[in-house]
Amino acid sequence: MSVIYRRAVRFEEVDAAGIAFFARFFNWCHEAMERFYDDVPDGYVGLITRRRVGFPAVHLTADWRSPLRYGDVANIETSVTRIGTTSATLRYVLTREADGVHVATIEHVTVATDLDTMTKRPLPDDCRALLERHLSPPA
Amino acid sequence: MSVIYRRAVRFEEVDAAGIAFFARFFNWCHEAMERFYDDVPDGYVGLITRRRVGFPAVHLTADWRSPLRYGDVANIETSVTRIGTTSATLRYVLTREADGVHVATIEHVTVATDLDTMTKRPLPDDCRALLERHLSPPA
Amino acid sequence: MSVIYRRAVRFEEVDAAGIAFFARFFNWCHEAMERFYDDVPDGYVGLITRRRVGFPAVHLTADWRSPLRYGDVANIETSVTRIGTTSATLRYVLTREADGVHVATIEHVTVATDLDTMTKRPLPDDCRALLERHLSPPA
Amino acid sequence: MSVIYRRAVRFEEVDAAGIAFFARFFNWCHEAMERFYDDVPDGYVGLITRRRVGFPAVHLTADWRSPLRYGDVANIETSVTRIGTTSATLRYVLTREADGVHVATIEHVTVATDLDTMTKRPLPDDCRALLERHLSPPA
């Protein structure tokens, strides 16, 4: 029921401590979310640019277990843990591809938003149907 | 007891929805943390490059209330909510400078880490003393 | 006649080779350009968001002489080398603050652009006057 | 003789003018270079982390013809225009996939560098052989 997004740590994504910078994990999760919504017509790009529906974050929790380094590949498993009227909660579990080690788990509460008025709105029907297909019980 | 870090949203920090990208908030909080540690000798740069002590994130929570746009300035108020043997929890409260609106609150649990072995270590004494000077009760 | 923008290399701006990532230099030069235009009313933010005038790059050359590392501070000296009807060429000379070493020189040809139509337009009068005050002969 | 790297403009790679930020093009070209060197054993990651050979930029020119927006895909065609004893010049031609429009051309002079001493060194034999297989006459 989950969707896997495979993402290599890039050359410029490390920090002066030599590990992938913590804020980068949220870029990757957003990429995983875009990949997830690519299963609605026109995908995430269509949502943003044509339908003018976005999914800003309102709440987020992250737990890190292991660092990632340049050359590592993360497998990001995206699932859905809660669906509300306007909100959708996505969970991303990141594992290091080379050895299967658990790297991080991130929960991301998003709210469907009309990008022209910047006010919340009900989840579009096709997004809701997609979310429901990937709904998992909380970990 | 808190430290203020003033940060303008930059031209390239918005996303295709026209607001500051959510992952950028963590870059800014890290900058605020670096600013915070600048009160130890050699500052954060000295910690990382000479003393080889880092503060990777192990846990993080974020709540957003209002978006930021290009041209907005965030006032990031950094305080300390918990000090352990090896860990330090920082809280960042972001307000929009123009109108004082509450933008986001982020809690960031970090663990003092020996960057050569990548294992946790006790908080350095000067860091602990600095953290204690800014310790606030949880919100 | 030049404007100095002081910029520390940040924790996450290095790459896996341990030096400031080459693309970051262009972020910094853009920051220096924004600082430069802050001397027109409303500054660069006003140009972009209210007046809807931008300065996309059409040509750029860069020469690097020395790397920068985390903890280094760059002094970016911005001057103007050519002013056309619609175009302005800025030159950025980066030196490392600690020892004055020449780090890089970047020339950046920009074209005043109506952001609503994405077509070029004459330089606004106040921008032209500002550019002329900082015009330097080519190096 | 050239290598194609396909790259979608990401959600957070636009700027407040609504187009892909100019510095991002250099991130993408570096990704294309990494892809190019993936044809040597261990690829670019092996060069950096195990063999300790990097390719810092010493000179760069860029020309832009058309903007890219969120949702656009760039086809980046990488070729080699000059091979020296220690240096390699790569050329990247970016076209917009949807309509084949020429977006930008970037030339990137890199110098093989011993990352432990940060001094230049001869091109490794396998890198040189790879470069020679993709050598094109200058445009």
Burial A72-91 (b: 16+ CB within 10 A, else e): bebebbbbbbebeeebbbbb
**Domain A3-133: top CATH class:** alpha beta
Q: Residue B2: what pLDDT?
A: 85
**pLDDT for D137 beyond 80:** no
Q: Residue D2: what pLDDT?
A: 85
**pLDDT for D139 beyond 60:** no
Contacts of D71 in chain B (CB under 8 A): 16
**Neighbouring chains to C with at least 3 Cβ pairs closer than 8 Å:** A, B, D
Nearest CA in chain D to A42: D71
Residues C66-83 have a mean pLDDT of 97
pLDDT tens digits, one per residue of A5-44: 999 999 999 999 999 999 999 999 999 999 999 999 899 9
Judged by CB atoms closer than 8 Å, whether chains meet at B14 and D16 is answered as: yes
Contacts of A70 in chain C (CB under 8 A): 16
Contacts of C34 in chain B (CB under 8 A): 10-11
Domain boundaries of chain B, sorted by first residue = 3-133
Q: Residue A138: what pLDDT?
A: 59
Q: Residue B138: what pLDDT?
A: 59
Q: Residue A139: what pLDDT?
A: 55
Give the number of residues written for chain B: 139
Contacts of B12 in chain C (CB under 8 A): 27, 30
Q: Which are the contacts of C92, defined by CB distance < 8 A and separation ≥ 6?
A: C29, C32, C76, C77, C78, C104, C105, C106, C107, C108
User: Across the interface, which of C19, C23, C48 has its CB nearest the CB of D23?
Assistant: C23
Residues A74-99 have a mean pLDDT of 98
In terms of Cβ atoms closer than 10 Å to its own Cβ (0-12, 13-18, 19+), residue B1 is: exposed
Nearest CA in chain D to A69: D49
**pLDDT for D1 beyond 80:** no
Q: Residue C2: what pLDDT?
A: 85
Residue in the block written with tokens 């050329």: D91
Residues C58-78 have a mean pLDDT of 98
- Residue D118 in tokens: 């940060």
Distance to chain C for A70, nearest Cα, Å? 6
Provide, rounded to the nearest whole percent, the portion of chain C with pLDDT above 70. Answer: 99
Judged by CB atoms closer than 8 Å, whether chains meet at C22 and D16 is answered as: no
User: Across the interface, which of B24, B61, B115 has its CB nearest the CB of A17?
Assistant: B115
**pLDDT for D138 beyond 70:** no
Q: Residue B139: what pLDDT?
A: 55
A26 touches chain C (CB under 8 A): no
Helix (H) and strand (E) counts in chain A: 3, 8
Provide, rounded to the nearest whole percent, the portion of chain D with pLDDT above 70. Answer: 99
Residues D102-126 have a mean pLDDT of 98
Contacts of C38 in chain B (CB under 8 A): none
Distance to chain C for B34, nearest Cα, Å? 9
Residues 35-64 of chain B with CB under 8 A from chain C are 44-45, 48-49
A120 touches chain B (CB under 8 A): no
The structure's pTM equals 0.96
> How far, in Å, CA of B3 to CA of A10, rounded?
33
Q: Which are the contacts of D99, defined by CB distance < 8 A and separation ≥ 6?
A: none
For residues A107 and A91, is the Cβ–Cβ distance under 8 A?
Answer: yes
Segment-wise mean pLDDT, segments of 10 residues, chain B, 139 residues: 93 97 98 96 95 98 98 98 98 98 98 97 98 84
Q: Residue C139: what pLDDT?
A: 54
Q: Residue A19: what pLDDT?
A: 97
pLDDT tens digits, one per residue of D68-110: 999 999 999 999 999 999 999 999 999 999 999 999 999 999 9
Nearest CA in chain B to A104: B58
Give the number of residues written for chain A: 139
**C-alpha angle with apex A74: A1 to D92, nearest 5 degrees?**
115
Q: Which are the contacts of A48, defined by CB distance < 8 A and separation ≥ 6?
A: A54, A115, B16, B17, D11, D70, D71
* Beta-bridge mates of residue B93: B77, B105
Q: Is the dihedral of CA A10, C5, D61, C20 positive or negative?
A: negative
Q: Residue B111: what pLDDT?
A: 98
Q: Residue B75: what pLDDT?
A: 98
User: Across the interface, which of A16, A23, A70 has its CB nearest the CB of C70?
Assistant: A16
Distance to chain B for D46, nearest Cα, Å? 21
pLDDT category of residue A71 using cuts at 50, 70 and 90: very high
B20 touches chain D (CB under 8 A): no
Residues A36-56 have a mean pLDDT of 96
Mean pLDDT of chain C: 96
From the list C62, C31, C44, C57, the residue with the least C-alpha distance to C109 is C57
**pLDDT for D121 beyond 90:** yes
B122 touches chain A (CB under 8 A): no
**Neighbouring chains to A with at least 3 Cβ pairs closer than 8 Å:** B, C, D
- Residue A19 in tokens: 């590990």
Q: For residue B25, give Cα distances in angstroms to A22, A94, B11, B19.
A: 11, 21, 14, 12
pLDDT tens digits, one per residue of A99-137: 999 999 999 999 999 999 999 999 999 999 999 999 997
Distance to chain D for B17, nearest Cα, Å? 8
